[in-house]
Structure 1
């Protein structure tokens, strides 16, 4: 496996690899190829992929935001390889894309039981600002979403 990765805007050709990654990372709430294609082609969305820089271009991560005036929503972020800074790089790319799109703050939702992600976002400067009770319905369980925010 390559030790370096590069970020580039996602294209429609990335939909299938991202869909497989979704199934691996978020099996209970994975987006379909159709949803992902719609997102990547939407004028108010910005999606990025992390790929191996050396050798064959293999997906290592992806992320996407929705622009809505002075606010951006982080729709998804997933790193297939841990410990290489891919998640941090994807988040930084999304924050810059949000700024470039006129956003002054970024919002996101994270499952209450996802301690690793919540810690990742806190380290990146996000603060918990709310809760959406029962937002996630997974295998008959109801899980709250924690809403987090960061000024850009």
Structure 2
């Protein structure tokens, strides 16, 4: 695995002829990530202050997918984890161009970083009504291990969170 600060060239181009890559999130990514949060998670998006704290926190690892071989172009996606002891928590993952491998690359980066940081398993919460995300995580090897009733508080209702886990080491 390359060092976790390295740029990793991504897979299929989001647009024909447009390369993309992953790199560690930087403070200047805050604006584009906050905009993406609002677009992807209306009613439950993290505030810019929360995102800034997450990106700067020493026990968090955030990655962005962006256009260009150096990942210097427009934001295509982002993800972040927290590692505590032998457990990693996937805090967030979002892609602005689903279906081209960005989400898989972001999740794989998070898992690799978690292993480097000595995590043995990754946990995440996913909305019960988000069939696409549930399928994505199941295909990636995650299994449901619990439920958090009313975890997501939307303006008009609450939605349960399904807690999922994947072993990262045998």
- The TM-score range, normalised by the shorter chain, is over 0.9
2:10 alignment partner in structure 1: none
State yes or no: 1:46 paired with 2:61: yes
Quickly say closer, same or farther: Cα 1:72–1:61, change in 2 above 3 A: same
- 1:72-87, aligned counterparts within 5 Å? 72-87=88-103
1:10 is aligned, of 22, 25, 28, to 25
Q: Deviation at 1:3?
A: 3.1
1:146 maps to: 162
1:1-152 aligned within 5 A: 1=15, 3-53=18-68, 57-152=73-168
Q: Deviations over 1:56-112 (max 9, x none)?
A: 611000000011100000000000002210000000000001111110000000000
What is the TM-score of this pair, normalised by structure 1?
Answer: 0.96
SS in 1 for 2:52: helix
Structure 1: gaps (5+ residues): none
**Offset, 1:26:** 0.4
Per-residue CA deviations over 1:1-35 (Å, capped at 9, x if unaligned) read 45321000001110010000000000111111111
Q: CA RMSD in A?
A: 1.3
For structure 2, the 5+ residue unaligned runs are 1-14
Scaled by the length of structure 2, the TM-score of the pair is 0.86
What is the number of residues matched between the two proteins? Answer: 152
Q: Distance in 2 between matches of 1:85 and 1:18?
A: 19
